[in-house]
Amino acid sequence: MSLRIVFDLDGTLIDSAPDLCAIANTLLAARALEPISLVQAREFIGNGASVFVEKLRKSRDIPDTDHDALLCSYLTLYAALDLTLTAPYPGLVEALSTLQAQGYAMGICTNKPLKAAHAVLDHFELGDFFDAVIGGDSLSVHKPDPTPLHAAFEALGAGPRLYVGDSEVDAETAARAHVPFLLFTEGYRKSPMSDLNFQGNFSHFKALPELISSIRTRAAWH
């Protein structure tokens, strides 16, 4: 039974905030509204597309009644994204290659729309690392509900579980699923690290394989 590792996507494997910020500002420009900053975009990411649009609306006093139309335009632009402003975090491919060579089963549980998640994985040639991908619209509920995380682990077979993410949403999801959690500290977290529960943390992917090995030894996982 090999260890199963599930990763969050936005703010954990890839820095996608500049592209999502650009989409938001295209929508705002069409309404002759002021653009949001990259800092704001990072704050809006983490709970999926609908919450992103809700936070965007509230920041610019766009009425609730416009939500569905704005979400629809957002998703259309999202689906057409060429990902020029998105980048995998440094050291990611090397870390995933090491973990794959160590025989771990790996998957993704993201609140990003599933098609967009697959588009990112294809674009950056990361798809072969992952045997399961659950998106924000794969099920009727999304993180912090633990159901999508359970689904990702189930698709990876049997074995101990570990979840890796960047945000409060991920920490809550892991806690509700009773899964050990590793925090990537350079993503889109809003609160201090001391407010979150995690079993380990890392700020660069070169540290991840070693961190997982040490946690494995501590937990006596085989």
* Interaction residues for ligand PGA, span 84-113 (CB under 6 A): 110-112
* 172 counts as binding Mg ion under rule CB under 5 A: no
Q: Is residue 87 classed as helix, strand or coil in its secondary structure?
A: strand
Closest distance to ligand PGA from the beta carbon of 47 (Å): 5
Q: Is 11 in the site for ligand PGA (CB under 6 A)?
A: yes
**88, 112 in Cβ contact below 8 A?**
no
Which residue matches tokens 């072969």? 128
Q: What residue has token string 């790996």?
A: 106
For residue 8, which amino acid is it?
D
Q: Is 19 a catalytic residue?
A: no
Task: Based on the shown chain and the rule CB under 5 A, indicate whether residue 8 belongs to the binding site for Mg ion.
Answer: yes
Smallest gap from Cβ 110 to ligand PGA, in A, equals: 3
Tracing tokens 């629809």 back to the chain, one arrives at 72
Judged by CB under 5 A, does residue 137 bind Mg ion?
Answer: no
Q: How far is CA 55 from CA 47, 78, 130, 163, in A?
A: 10, 17, 31, 26
CB of 11 to ligand PGA, least distance (A): 5
Does 11 sit near Mg ion (CB under 5 A)?
yes
Look at phi and psi of residue 91 and say left if phi exceeds 0, alpha if psi is from -120 to 50, else beta.
Answer: left
User: Quick check: 52 binds ligand PGA (CB under 6 A)?
Assistant: yes
Answer whether 149's CB lies under 8 Å from 130's CB.
Answer: no
Which listed residue (8, 10, 19, 137) is catalytic? 8
Q: Which residues are catalytic?
A: 8
Where do contacts with ligand PGA occur on this chain (CB under 6 A)? Answer: 8-11, 45-48, 52, 110-112, 136, 143
